[in-house]
Amino acid sequence: MKFWNEKFETMPRAEMVKYQNWKLAETVRWVYEKVPFYRNALDAKGLKPEDIKSVEDIKHLPFTVKTDLRDNYPFGLCAVPMKDLARVHASSGTTGKPITGPYTKEDESQWGECMARALWAASVRPDDVVQISYGMGLFTGGLGFLIGAQTLGCCIVPSGSGMTERQLLLMQDFKVDALFCTPTYALTIVERAEQLGIDMKSFPLRAGCFGAEPWTVEMREDIERRMGIKAYEAYGLTEMMGPGVGFSCEHYNIHINEDHIYPEIINPDTLEPLPYGEKGELVFTAIQRRAMPLLRYRTRDITSLREVECGCGRKLVVMDKILGRSDDMVIISGVNVFPSQIESQILEIGSLEPQYLLRVSKKGYLDRLAVEVEAKPDVYAGGAESMARVAKKLESRIHNVIGITVPVTIVPSGTIARSEGKAKRVIDERKLG
Ligand code: DLL
């Protein structure tokens, strides 16, 4: 069996659109009936559910934004009473109240289906032993991978994140085939192994499925090389079920489970939909969920969509790797900079470690960006001169790519905090004090 769900993963476009039309119309009817927030929003636009007949009409629907979730916390946007909920996840968010992610029993099994497709594409099979090193709890990462691995029927090692040496021991002793965690934690794990003189390439480990934060192709290659595995990717967000929205195949294309979650790209300034191939903000409509299906939810993630003749045979639309979140974008001298652009440059210089921080500060009216990065041991061994040389090299690469001068400091090895979950790459000193 090549796919987990051949019917939907390889559905011809015309058939998929027909299916999406049906599911979208059903969802709009459902929320109009059940969620006063959406009834009011549609009424305010003079829309009735029967006006939305196809995905072509989606552009008429109102957007949903993060503050709508906060304003209606905890269950104001829920379409079902608490007694019909099977579970609730939540994401901590950066400030204030958490974002809630409620599921009905049916939503849970759809999550299992979407995650099973992702794991299957990541070469995971029912006979495999899988280690889940995403946080286990309210965060959707750990339990999302759990439900996927259960749907597949794998042997699960739910280690959760943290206790890195223990993770290595389990992976080796239990002969784990696939590892699931954030790319940042994957780096922390392999770095610890290297410090302990353990070669992860000698483990039975074959594959990883990493996600929950932006990471570059260069970072993926670094993890693949150091762990001796193939690294796949999972994409998702609490508001749309968690991981399982998008997943990469053996060609590293990230396919979206578009029969469940309908994607659009919009221009974040004009809010106009953008055609395939153009970069903008990713917007999702959950067309099969029941507990809290959101219409045109603005993710703030920046990417583009493409229809690709993918060698894997899946016809599901492809999304490019997330460049970053608009929240993490720094505007320096009018230039938009994402941490991922700096990360690519760091990793292309062989003598630097993928451990870095971007510091944003204000000088007068101007924003300033500075990069701190750790280097490989031989750079430190070469003293101040060799450190300055590597810093200059990175500065000039960054200048070539983004066109601005960003001062680089090589900091002592181990000074940048290692993460067991999502990394924090940007320290915005403008927001402090
Ligand atoms: O991070 C869900 C998840 C868990 C996805 C495990 C994949 C693996 P939240 O905590 O709500 O949910 O954060 C969602 O994380 O809007 C993106 O900005 C970012 N993100 C998630 N996956 C990726 C990825 C989970 N593969 C937010 N690449 C999203 C880039 C990602 N960014």
Q: Does ligand 1 lie within 6 Å of residue 91's CB atom? A: yes
Give the three-state DSSP class for 20: helix
Cβ atoms of 375 and 352 within 8 Å: the answer is yes
pLDDT averaged over every residue in the chain: 96
* Ligand 1 near 134 CB (within 6 A): yes
Dist. CA 217 → ligand 1 center (Å): 16
Domain ranges (residues) in the chain = 1-327, 330-428
pLDDT for residue 96: 73
pLDDT at 364: 78
**To which residue do tokens 């938009």 refer?**
336
Instruction: Tell me the per-residue pLDDT of 105-134, one tens digit each, with 9 for 90 and over.
Output: 999 999 999 999 999 999 999 999 999 999
What tokens does 415 get? 């000074």
d(CA 288, CA 293): 7
pLDDT of residue 223: 98
Q: Quick check: 188 and 418 in contact, CB under 8 A? A: yes
CB 317 within 8 A of CB 258: yes
Pairing of strands 305-306, 242-248: unpaired
As beta bridge partners, residue 370 has 359
- Cα-Cα-Cα-Cα dihedral sign, residues 231, 182, 420, 415: positive
Name the closest-CA residue to atom 6, ligand 1.
Answer: 141
Computed on alpha carbons and rounded to an integer, the radius of gyration of the chain in Å comes to 22
Short-list 184, 232, 190, 186, CA closest to 207: 232
Q: Which residue's CA is minimally distant from atom 29 of ligand 1?
A: 237
pLDDT at 177: 99
Q: Atom 21 of ligand 1 has which residue's CA nearest to it?
A: 212
Report how far apart, in Å, the C-alpha atoms of 257 and of each of 34, 117, 143, 275, 316 are: 25, 9, 19, 19, 7
- Tokens (6 digits) for 136: 């286990």
The Cα–Cα gap between 248 and 234 comes to 7
Both structure tokens of 73 = 């916390």
pTM above 0.85, yes or no: yes
The pair phi, psi for residue 202, each rounded to 5°, is -85, -5
Residue 331 has a pLDDT of 83
Atom of ligand 1 lying closest to residue 238 CA:
11
pLDDT for 161 equals 96
Whether residue 167 contacts residue 157, with contact meaning beta carbons closer than 8 Å, is answered with: no
| Ligand 1 and 240: CB distance under 6 A | no
Q: Which residues of 284-299 are buried (b: 16+ CB within 10 A; e: fewer)?
A: bbbbbbbbbbbbbbbb
Q: Which tokens belong to 397? A: 């690469």
- For the CA atoms of 208, 210, 214, 215, what is the dihedral angle to 10 degrees? -10
Averaged in consecutive runs of 10 residues, what is the pLDDT profile of the chain (433 residues)? 97 98 98 98 98 98 96 97 98 78 98 98 98 97 98 98 97 98 97 98 98 96 98 98 98 98 97 97 98 98 97 98 89 86 95 95 84 96 96 96 93 95 90 59
Of all protein residues, the one whose alpha carbon is nearest to atom 30 of ligand 1 is 214
Order of strands across the sheet with 366-375? 408-411, 366-375, 352-363, 426-428
Quick one: the chain helix, strand, coil %, rounded to 5? 40, 25, 35
Structure confidence by residue, pLDDT tens digits, 31-49: 999 999 999 999 999 999 9
Nearest CA to ligand 1 atom 13: 237
- CB-based contact 209:124 (threshold 8 Å): yes
CB of 123 closer than 8 Å to CB of 206: yes
Q: Choose one of 143, 235, 283 to mutate for the ligand 1 pocket test, by most ligand atoms within 8 angstroms of C-beta.
A: 235
217-227 vs 339-348: helix crossing angle, rounded to 10? 50
Q: DSSP of 121-156, one letter per residue?
A: HTT--TT-EEEE-S--SSSHHHHHHHHHHHHHTPEE
**DSSP string over 276-305:** TT--EEEEEEESS-SSSPPSSEEEEEEE-E
CA 366 to ligand 1 centroid distance, Å: 31
C-alpha span between 122 and 209 (Å, rounded): 7
CA distance 203 to 193: 11
Q: Best of 89, 140, 161 to mutate for ligand 1, by most ligand atoms within 8 A of CB? A: 140
330-428 homologous superfamily: ANL, C-terminal domain (3.30.300.30)
299 lines ligand 1 (CB under 6 A): yes
The amino acid at residue 264 is: E
Q: In the CATH scheme, what is the code of domain 1-327?
A: 3.40.50.12780
Q: What are phi and psi of 279, to 5 degrees?
A: -80, 140
Rounded CA separation 197/228 (Å): 15
Distance CA 202, CA 229 (A): 10
